[in-house]
Structure formats: structure tokens, C-alpha cells
Structure 1
Amino acid sequence: MRLSELSARGGVSVPTIKFYLREGLLPPGRRISSTQAEYDEEHLRRLALVRALIQVGRMSVAGAREVLSALNDPDLDEISQMGKAVAGLPQPLPPAGDDGAARTAEESAREVQRRLGWRVVPENPAHQTLVSALSALERLGFPCDDAALLPYAELAERLAEHEVALIDTFHEPTTRLEAVVALTVLYEPVLLSLRRLAQAEQATRRFAGGPADAAPDA
């Protein structure tokens, strides 16, 4: 397909696609003349992924480029590519610090992972973000020991089993990598929204007399 068709099918303007090409977010098309190139379904799928990273995931162009570089790194095996791609996604919290709260949080994070048989990788950005969040809870006096954390981790494990099984339904390694990134970016706001909806429902049932007292769905 020509650039104009890629633009129409992808819902992205031609100037924006040219910008993505210049920035290395999209691979170049197959050159058919000095001024024209052809693009294929791989470009269309990658364009959708770039839009998800930048528009939904709110990533910078440089951050998106870093994540996407894992998809084409020939020196990494597939699981390492997945890890590099996810590690490049934005991390929501700053470092935990170095006080008593941070040390308690670190031990809680390690213990709950050990209890579930997970490998503890302190340099994993997700581990560091977990410790940072638990540190903040500890400083505010909210429960964040491994007993309080374990139900969350057990739910996360069930969710991860579902997601990895879904990713495994894609047969091409590149498509699986794209699915890892897309599901991570796009389902995090879905999970947050569902959690808040569930909290509202449970709070209504516990504190306001049950579902019958709730306002009807608009």
C-alpha cells in the first residue's frame, strides 16, 4: 500500500507517519522509486502499536523508540526481548529511598514473591516500583506487609496466567512481542478502571445498604 492508504487505514495523518519514520518508530517501506515507497500489513500493525504507546500509554517518542527497539534486537532471545520491552515502559513512581520504611517494603516485596515461588529480581523496574509504593504505604501507616500484599499478588498471578496464555495464541514471535507491549499498555487503564468500579460497588454494598440503594445506571 502507498503512504496515503497507510494513513487512511491507520487513522494517522501522513505528516505524523513521516515523523514516525524519521524517528525510527516505523520501519522504512520498500522503495519503489526515488520518492515513493510501499508499505504492508506489518507497517499497519506497528503503526497501531506506536499510537497505543504514545497516545494511550502517554510515552515520549524517545521512550517508545526504546521499547520498540526490543522488537528488532537480534542479540536477544524472545523472553529477553519481552523483558526489555516491558522494562522500557514508563514507571509510575520514583525510587523508594533508603529509610526504615523502604527497608520494610523491600522485605515485604521479596517475601511475597518468595511465597508464590517467583524469582526475585531487585533490578526489575516492576520490583522497584512495588517497593516504592509499599514504602509510601508504610510511611502513611497503612498495612503493607506480606500478609496484606499476598491477596493482591495471588490475583496478579492468575491475571498473568491468563495474559501469557493469550499472548501464546499468537504464533509469530514479533506479533507476540507486540502483544506483550500492547496488552501491558492498554490493559493497565482497563484494570485500574475495573478496580475502581468494583470498589464503588463493594463500598455501596457495605456502607450504603446494598445494590438496591445505588443510583440506576445512566
Structure 2
Amino acid sequence: MRISELSERTGVSSASIKYYTREGLLPAGERTGYNSTAYDESHVARLRLIRALIDTGGLTVAAAGKVIAAIDDPDIVLDHVFGIAQQSVPRDATPPSAAAIEQVHAIMRERGWATVPQNPGIPLAAGVLDDLAMTRTDLSTVLPRYAEAIDMIAEADLDAVAASGDRDQMAEAVVVGIVLGDVLLAGLRRIAQESHTHRRYRGGVVPCQDHETDETTETKESS
């Protein structure tokens, strides 16, 4: 397919396609003439991955490039791909407090989690605990339950990776699971929270929703 068709199928502009190729995120197409290039389904799949990493995952182009390079390098073992993907996810630059770090380490010891000291999840979780402490919200009583749930999710992540097939598919599954999995879990959590709220406080009854916008309501009131 020509670049115009690739752009139409993926929703990525021709200029962006050329940019991603120059930056090494997207393999070059096959030259079929002086001023023409052909692309195939692998380019469609790669562009969708690139946009998912950047648009949904919030990665910069440079960070997405590092992650994709790790996927494409057969000499990088999967646990290193995990590390590269984890380090690429945006996070708060403010160092967390020692007390919050110790809280996280306590949960790690309780669950038997072993990681390298620079695992980005440690300062990420500790930073959230610091923010919660400033709002006078204490999560210490529910942290063990959160950790138990996360253990199950982490096992499910690895099961999904193992079921992917060959090394390239497994590496891509690693990246998708880390970068996009956080967004997916946030969405599912919000759904479950509302459902459990209705069960607990409304006897399972879902309240009716007014789908009219404020603008529509104001128009009706003024007419």
C-alpha cells in the first residue's frame, strides 16, 4: 500500500509516518520507484503500537523509540525488556520521603517481592503515599489488600506474555502490558468502584442518568 493508504488506515498523518521512520520507530517501506514507497500490514501494526505508546501510554517519542528498539532487538532478554518499558513510563520527578519508601519496602517484604533497587515502581508508589499523607488520607489499612490484588494482576500479566508465542510477540506483549495495562486497570477500577458503590449504598440499583448537557438544559430553560 502507498503512504496515503497507510495514513488513512491508521489515522497517522503522512508527515508523522515519515517522522517515525526517521526516528527509527517505524521500519522504512520498500522503495518501488523514484518517488514511491510500499508499506504492508507490519507497518499498520507498528504504527498502531507507536500511537498506543505515545497517545494512551503518555510516552515521549524518544521513550517510545527506546521501548520499540528493545522489542526489535533479539539479543535483549525479556526481563530486560520489562525493565526498559517500566523505566520509560512517565513518573513524578519529586523524590519521595524515606518514610513512604519504607512503607513500600514493608509491603514488598510482606509479599516476598524481590526487585532491583532502582525499580521505578518503588518511588512511584511512595510518591503517591506522600501525596495521600498531605491530604490526611491513610491507605495503610488497605495497602495489604491492594498488594494482594496486584500480585494476581502481575501473574496474569506474565501468563499473557507466555501465551503470546514467539520472542517478538512476547516482547511486544510485555510492553503493551506495562504501558497500556496501567491505563486499562485504571478504567476497570473506576467501573468496579461504581458498581460496588451501587451494591453497597443503593441495593444494587443504578441511578438514572441525565444525558443532556448543561448547554442543552440552559437552552430549554430559556425557550
TM-score calculated relative to the size of structure 1 = 0.82
1:123 aligns with 2:122: no
Q: Deviations over 1:174-195 (max 9, x none)?
A: 2222222223333323321222
Structure 1 stretch displaced more, 108-117 or 8-17? 8-17
Name the aligned partner's letter for residue 15 of structure 1: A
**Correspondence for 1:165:** 159
Question: Structure 1 residue aligned with 2:169, among 135, 150, 175?
Answer: 175
Amino acid of the residue matched to residue 96 of structure 1?
P
Read off the aligned partner of 1:215 and give its amino acid letter: P
Q: CA deviation at 1:88?
A: 0.9
> Residue in 1 aligned with 2:221?
none
> For 2:4 and 2:202, how far apart are their aligned partners in 1?
57
Distance 1:192 1:85 in 2: 18
- Report the CA distance between 1:131 and its aligned residue: 1.2
Could you tell which deviates more after superposition, 104-113 or 11-20?
Answer: 11-20
Determine what percentage of the aligned residue pairs are the same residue. 36
The amino acid of 1:203's aligned partner reads: T
**Matched residue of 1:211: which SS?**
coil
More deviation, 37-46/20-29: 37-46
| Alpha-carbon shift at residue 141 of structure 1 (Å) | 3.2
Q: Does 1:35 align with 2:35?
A: yes
CA distance in 2, matches of 1:10, 1:211: 41
How far is the alpha carbon of 1:84 from its aligned partner? 0.8
1:61 and 2:55 matched: no
SS in 1 for 2:76: coil
Indicate the residue corresponding to 1:187 in structure 2: 181
| 1:107 is the counterpart of 2:107 | no
8 A contact 2:81–2:175 mirrored in 1: no
CA RMSD in angstroms comes to: 2.4
Query: 1:106 deviation in Å?
Result: 1.1
Cα shift readout 1:38-63 (whole Å, capped 9, x = no counterpart): 33333221111001012222332222
Contact 1:109–1:127 (8 Å) recurs in 2: yes
Answer whether contact 2:74 2:168 (CA < 8 A) is retained. no
Give 1:105 shift: 1.3
Report if aligned partners of 2:81, 2:174 keep a CA contact under 8 Å in 1: no
Of 191, 203, 216, the match for 1:210:
203
Counterpart of 2:94 in 1: which secondary structure?
coil
Matched, 1:196 2:190: yes
Unmatched runs of 5 consecutive residues or more in structure 2 = 212-223
Q: Does residue 141 of structure 2 align to residue 142 of structure 1?
A: no
Equivalent residue pairs, number: 210
In the other structure, the counterpart of 1:84 is 84
The one-letter code matched in structure 1 to 2:159 is A
CA offsets, 1:156-210, max 9 Å, x none? 111111122112111122222222222333332332122223323333444x442
Greater displacement, 78-87 / 177-186 = 177-186
Match of 1:21 in 2: 21
1:86 shift after superposition: 2.5
Q: CA deviation at 1:75?
A: 5.0
How far is 1:11 from its partner?
3.1
Structure 1 Cα separation of the partners of residues 79 and 35 of structure 2: 38
Q: 1:193 to 1:78 in 2, by over 3 A?
A: closer
The residue number in structure 2 matching 1:95 is 94
Q: Which amino acid aligns with 1:90?
A: P
